[in-house]
A and B are shown apart, each in its own frame.
Chain A
Amino acid sequence: MKYQPVIGLEVHVQLKTDTKIFCGCSTQFGAEPNSQTCPVCLGLPGALPVLNKKVVEFAIKAGLSTNCSITPRSIFARKNYFYPDLPKGYQISQFEDPICQHGWLDIKVEGQEPKKIGITRIHMEEDAGKLVHGELSGSGDGSGVDLNRACTPLLEVVSEPDLRTSDEAVSYLKQLHGIVTWLGICDGNMEEGSFRCDANVSVMPIGSEKLGTRAEIKNVNSFKFVKQAIEYEIQRQIDLIEDGGTVIQETRLFDPNSGKTRSMRSKEEAHDYRYFPDPDLVPLVINQEWVERSRQELPELPDKRQQRFIDELGLPLYDAEVLNGSRVLADYFEAGVAAHGNAKLVANWVMGEITRALNDSGTSIEFSPVTPSQLAELLKLVDKGTISGKIAKTVFDEMWKSGKTPGAIVEEHGLVQVSDCSAIEGIIDEIMAANAGQVEEFRGGKEKVFGFFVGQVMKASKGKANPSVVNELLINKLKG
């Protein structure tokens, strides 16, 4: 019997606000444990949570960018359960009427047609605190609770069970990750848990209408692990069924070391969260005007921008994809095009020299010492024939190191291209005299040695000779 895997994803997106969702405590990462807390996020009796407006604005942007409709009136609910990292004994979340509903994303998997993946809902909620184990002074073998993260704003994005393979799941996640980082609402750091994923996986016989029992794999924190975890889980369930067993509904944890998932005993108890509307938080009403205002503020999304680079700037698909790898990179490129005009030339430099220099120095594009307008200035020097394309790379390296303008560097180092025929002729004559043997070879029909002469002339001129003038003069002289 052949099986059809069915996968749905729940993604927690940590929002990049300065303060928590219901209080003014800072969300800065890495502070002393419990130093960023107050009565609200400590869950002290009588404290009143008040909604951070920015969280709502971010949620609307996420919804609009994933083709969701924005719920005109949404409410917050209490999700009740006991766990040491949850000080109130309930998490403030949304249950009925979440802020965004019924969206979709288009995913592309190599060798497949684009596919539409439904998004059931996006809701706002607070994060829990952090538990640490072992190595605490005077605690024996107890655990420690740090509530700095408690009340940090999250969006939970729930997909429909529309995904069929681990590759589709990864493609969906990358797409979503790209959108939230592009919008600037999440820093996208998966290792620090700013973008984390739970995967619901089940299998059913091919042709069956009835979904199999699903297992939920918790907190997988990289694209690679998501792929591994889903593939392992699919095979585990198939093996189990083939051996005559049945899959049980449970929560499982992925272990990156073994590449396996295992049952989480602590979560075995069937949950009954007893959701009810949180009386501390009044309903959230979002009118059409607010939605439209947010829509106006949306940046151009990666998909659209990529298409525009192809249609309007005439770039090949590959270039358009690479340059849209991040919003800042695309911004840099466009600023360069605005200052120079030749999109393909600027694209080559951004994907070539700039990317290489960034990698070598471990810098990211927003900290590039060479600004887009300086890059354009450099390329204009090449256009005018002031310097050769080859020298431009030397000048670029110097700009990167010193931060000086290209004009100043060219002048300082005497790098102006030599296009003067008599000067170049002088060099050619010397080289031909010194390499009489090769001259004979060339004249005897071995045209390959032409490259040797070009190299020698460029070397003797320290790269400053204008290559097209060199070519022309050399041909004439060699043919004698």
Chain B
Amino acid sequence: MKISVVDVEQVARLARLELTFEEKELFATQMDAILDYVEKLKELNTEGIIPTSHAVPMENAFREDLVMPSIGLAKALANAPGRSDNFFSVPKVIE
């Protein structure tokens, strides 16, 4: 096993996920299988091949620098879990 429960816990913590012990074990096995599969690709000769960053062969999608209407305060804040004045309110952030 390349992936341990400790590795899964680390990734879960970075993603703010709470997992049960059973889940951690399950994911460790699954992630291990994924890595094994990727490992297999190393058998191929990839010399001179640009790393794939995108699945679709497309480049240069631009927009011009023209102001478009924003959606407005009512819509912007409609789904806010908390609101005070026109701000999203969140638990106090200390620096």
Chain A positions near chain B (C-beta within 8 angstroms): 17-19, 23-26, 32-39, 42, 50-54, 56, 73, 75, 80, 82-84, 131-133, 136-139, 141-147, 253, 264-266, 272, 274, 277, 279, 281-285
Contacts and interface: CB of A to CB of B under 8 A. Distances in A.
Which 6 A-B residue pairings sit nearest by Cβ, starting from the closest? Answer: A24-B68, A144-B87, A139-B84, A277-B53, A54-B65, A53-B62
Interface stretch (B19-27, B30-38, B39-47, B71-79): B71-79
A84 B87 CA distance: 12
Nearest to B68: A24
A19 B77 CA distance: 21
Contacts of A133: 92-93
B76 A53 contact: no
Given A24-B66, A39-B71, A33 B59 contact: no
A15 to B, nearest CB: 10
A274 B14 CA distance: 9
17 contacts: A17-B65, A19-B65, A19-B67, A24-B67, A34-B77, A38-B68, A38-B71, A50-B63, A53-B64, A142-B82, A144-B87, A144-B90, A145-B87, A146-B87, A266-B95, A279-B54, A283-B60
B85 to A, nearest CB: 6
A144 B53 contact: no
Interface of B: 14, 16, 50, 53-56, 58-73, 76-77, 82, 84-95
Contact of B73 (A19, A35, A285): A35
A213 to B, nearest CB: 22
A272 B62 CA distance: 30
A37 B72 CA distance: 7
Contact of B84 (A73, A138, A284): A138
B84 A53 contact: no
Contact of A137 (B71, B73, B84, B90): B84
Contacts of B53: 75, 277, 283
Given A142-B82, A144-B85, A282-B59, A264 B65 contact: no
Contact of B63 (A37, A52, A82, A284): A52
User: Main SS of the interface on chain A?
Assistant: loop
A56 B63 CA distance: 11
Given A146-B86, A282-B61, 6 more contacts: A24-B66, A50-B62, A133-B92, A133-B93, A139-B84, A285-B59
B35 to A, nearest CB: 15
A284 B58 CA distance: 9
A393 B38 CA distance: 80
Nearest to B88: A145
B93 A38 contact: no
Contacts of A24: 63, 66-69
Nearest to B65: A54
B86 A284 contact: no
A36 B65 CA distance: 15
B70 A26 contact: yes
B87 to A, nearest CB: 3
A52 B90 contact: no
B61 A50 contact: yes
A282 B53 CA distance: 8
Most chain B C-beta atoms within 10 Å of own C-beta, residue among A24, A133, A138, A266: A24
A272 B84 contact: no
A66 B66 CA distance: 28
A282 B56 contact: yes
Given A133-B93, A146-B87, A42 B76 contact: yes
Nearest to B11: A274
Nearest to A58: B65
B50 to A, nearest CB: 8
Contacts of A73: 50, 59
B68 A136 contact: no
A70 to B, nearest CB: 14
B59 A283 contact: yes
A202 to B, nearest CB: 23
A132 B87 contact: yes
